[in-house]
Amino acid sequence: MPNSNLIEKTEKLVIIGSGPAGWTAAIYAARANLAPLVLAGDGLTRDRMPGGQLMFTTEVENFPGFEHGIDGQKMMAVMQQQAERFGTRVSNHFVTRVDFSVRPFKIWHINELSGDDEQLTEAHAVIISTGASANYLGLESERKFENNGVSACAVCDGALPRFRNAPLVVVGGGDSACEEATYLTKFASKVHLVHRRDELRASKIMAERTLKNPKLVPVWNSTVDEVLGTDADGVTGVRIKNLKTNQTHTIEARGMFAAIGHTPNTKFLNGQVQLNEKGYIVLPDGFRSMTSVEGVFAAGDVADSVYRQAITAAGMGCKAAIDAERHLAENGVH
Ligand SMILES: Cc1cc2nc3c(=O)[nH]c(=O)nc-3n(C[C@H](O)[C@H](O)[C@H](O)COP(=O)(O)OP(=O)(O)OC[C@H]3O[C@@H](n4cnc5c(N)ncnc54)[C@H](O)[C@@H]3O)c2cc1C
């Protein structure tokens, strides 16, 4: 039986999530002698993976400091080691719920993979860096070709050699699908924008600009039925299903980008921190990392629906650690 009442001790700072935002916050907080505890996720599902979203990508080419790029998993392992070197403690646990109405804050966490009992940790300050998971279509063939032609991030992957001068498919019809598709026209020979309806959901100005792009071909009332390819070549095409006629046809493509939104990982907060209409954490100051709850800070994609890059997440992690350290000092916790 889970023993939720077991309180080991009150932590100065708990960091929830272990992507670039969480590890950067941990590096800064540990160097400020806060000995932070990182609850890194338990790995039960993709959105609970210690290391975060970059654990699912091969090459990261745009993080400064790595002239020739770095493997996503390696980058996250090095960030963790850097955080641990200065005294960060790490637990591969997933936070199930919190109580931010009391001081110290209460955080319940569990490892469902190893079957650990639920534990309760108290903390004087908390940094939330739980990310926002990219939504995928959910096809088996899509998962099979991930990193081999399937992506969910045009800014991250668009410039990779396999996508250059090649036909590509983007799935989605909102603002971010238009942004992704337009961005990809810089590299691709042609971008097929596959959308379920007969007009884009994006804002009028964005939709008009997108459809005027000569490299963009809209594919209306349609969905991707199957991603086609081989182990050796990766994606070679997609099978499209017309939702009105149920007929299928194949589009030749070297890549497929899912642009059907992100899900911020904020469910465990149960409304205790102010969220925007899409579920992202609101930072009332905008520039700083404070949330609507004093002593609770947020960093990375969980509070950023615009940029969603490793470097921006890391930058926000740095800010959150500095803000948390100052908050703790002002409250006599050193
Ligand atoms: C296919 C793909 C390729 C990408 N490639 C690049 C690239 O080349 N360059 C680039 O800059 N960006 C890239 N990105 C974007 C980048 O991955 C994200 O911007 C970045 O990982 C965000 O960092 P984060 O720390 O905010 O969140 P994440 O990396 O998403 O980490 C979130 C962390 O929170 C944990 N977590 C979630 N919920 C809980 C909970 N309740 N309790 C405990 N832990 C929890 C997760 O396990 C995870 O450790 C890519 C994204 C995708 C999808």
pLDDT in tens, 69-104: 999 999 999 999 999 999 999 999 999 999 999 999
Beta-carbon contacts of 33 under 8 Å, excluding residues fewer than 6 positions away, are: 87, 334
* Cα 61 to Cα 67: distance, rounded to the nearest angstrom: 8
Flag whether pLDDT at 167 surpasses 50.
yes
178 included as an active-site residue: no
Using the mean position of ligand 1's atoms as its centre, give its distance from the Cα of residue 72 in Å: 10
41 vs 47: CA distance, rounded Å:
8
253 lines ligand 1 (CB under 6 A): no
Q: What is the pLDDT of residue 7?
A: 55
Q: What is the pLDDT of residues 126-138, one digit of tens each?
A: 999 999 999 999 9
For the question of residue 175 being annotated catalytic, the response is no
Query: Does the pLDDT of residue 209 top 60, yes or no?
Result: yes
Q: Which domains does the chain have, with CATH numbers?
A: 7-133+262-330 (3.50.50.60), 136-258 (3.50.50.60)
pLDDT at 60 over 50: yes
Q: Which helix (H) or strand (E) holds 105?
A: strand 105-110
Mean pLDDT of 196-224: 96
Lowest mean pLDDT among 10-19, 55-64, 207-216: 55-64
pLDDT of 5 above 60: no
Chain mean pLDDT for the chain: 95
* CA pair distance 151, 250, nearest whole angstrom: 19
Report the nearest-CA residue for atom 30 of ligand 1: 131
Which atom of ligand 1 lies nearest, measured to the CA of 130?
34
pLDDT at res. 176? 87
State the Cα–Cα distance between residues 194 and 325, nearest whole angstrom: 47
Q: Give the whole-number percent of the chain exceeding pLDDT 70.
A: 98
Bridge partner list, 99: 106
Which residues have a Cβ under 8 Å from the Cβ of 212 and sit 6 or more positions away?
A: none
The average pLDDT across 44-50 equals: 94
Task: For residue range 275-333, list pLDDT tens digits in order.
Answer: 999 999 999 999 999 999 999 999 999 999 999 999 999 999 999 999 999 999 999 99
Closest atom of ligand 1 relative to the 134 alpha carbon: 53
Instruction: State which amino acid sits at residue 320.
Output: A
